[in-house]
């Protein structure tokens, strides 16, 4: 297993590397003390099977580093380490498809367990982070229910929903028609129906209504 460990503090970097070498006989550990060095290593060395990244880096914010890595064609799985994880940070990392989370309360045993999980194509969340993710899922379900109930009540068709998203990008009727391979008159007809069903007379009021009903909400 070829692994890149990104940890700014030498004593922690050496300790983590030692723990990994004791528990994984097949591990090939490459270490980096900062984000820029990590990017150079990823760009110029062989493919890694796993990245372990401490988000608290002084040269590049760890989340920005992960975003840069995720732009690669075939990014490896990532375990993110941080002192503590806020709700916002967890949501951001989940969107970046981070597979493992370790905080300051986790032990070396948790690190080993996380690596085993990821090698088995699973994710790893410590107990406190799993609780927060469960809360996110409940929130997602609640808001999605409000959104879907609103759409059913209004009676938007799938085509109208598609056109609404184009409208919210400030596209003209002609631009929408070209994007959907429809006539300009067809878009005008749908637009008129959308306003009528929504009980509004212009794009701004439509946006305010849709936003209040979580129409643009996507599960995190």
Q: Which domains does the chain have, with CATH numbers?
A: 2-125 (3.40.50.2300), 141-212 (1.10.10.10)
pLDDT of residue 177: 94
- From CA 80, how far away is CA 5, in angstroms rounded? 10
pLDDT (tens, 9 = 90+) of the chain, 220 residues, equals 889 999 999 999 999 999 999 999 888 999 999 999 999 998 887 688 999 999 999 999 899 999 998 887 677 899 999 988 877 788 888 888 899 999 878 889 999 999 999 999 888 887 777 777 777 777 777 888 888 899 999 999 999 999 999 999 888 999 999 999 999 999 999 999 999 999 999 999 999 999 998 898 775 5
pTM of the entire structure? 0.64
Question: CB–CB of 47/75 below 8 Å?
Answer: no
- From CA 3, how far away is CA 10, in angstroms rounded? 17
pLDDT of residue 35: 92
- From CA 24, how far away is CA 36, in angstroms rounded? 27
Bridge partners (DSSP) of residue 80 are: 53, 101
pLDDT of residue 92: 86
pLDDT of residue 73: 62
pLDDT of residue 101: 92
């Amino acid at each position: 297993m070829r692994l890149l460990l990104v940890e700014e503090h030498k004593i922690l970097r050496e300790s983590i590397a030692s723990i990994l070498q004791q528990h994984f006989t097949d591990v090939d550990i490459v270490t980096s003390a900062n984000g820029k060095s990590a990017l150079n290593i990823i760009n110029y060395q062989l493919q890694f099977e796993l990245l372990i990244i401490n988000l608290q880096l002084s040269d590049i914010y760890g989340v920005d580093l992960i975003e840069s890595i995720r732009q690669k064609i075939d990014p490896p799985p990532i375990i993110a380490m941080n002192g503590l994880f806020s709700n916002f940070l967890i949501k951001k990392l989940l969107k970046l498809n981070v597979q493992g989370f370790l905080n300051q309360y986790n032990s070396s045993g948790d690190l080993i367990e996380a690596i085993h999980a990821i090698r088995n194509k699973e994710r790893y969340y410590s107990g406190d982070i799993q609780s927060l993710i469960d809360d996110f899922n409940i929130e997602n379900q609640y808001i999605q229910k409000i959104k879907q109930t609103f759409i059913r009540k209004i009676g938007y068709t799938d085509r109208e929903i598609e056109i609404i998203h184009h409208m919210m990008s400030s596209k003209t009727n002609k631009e929408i028609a070209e994007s959907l391979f429809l006539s300009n008159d067809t878009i005008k007809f749908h637009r008129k129906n959308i306003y009528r069903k929504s009980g509004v007379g212009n794009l701004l009021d439509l946006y305010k209504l849709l936003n209040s009903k979580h129409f643009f909400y996507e599960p995190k």
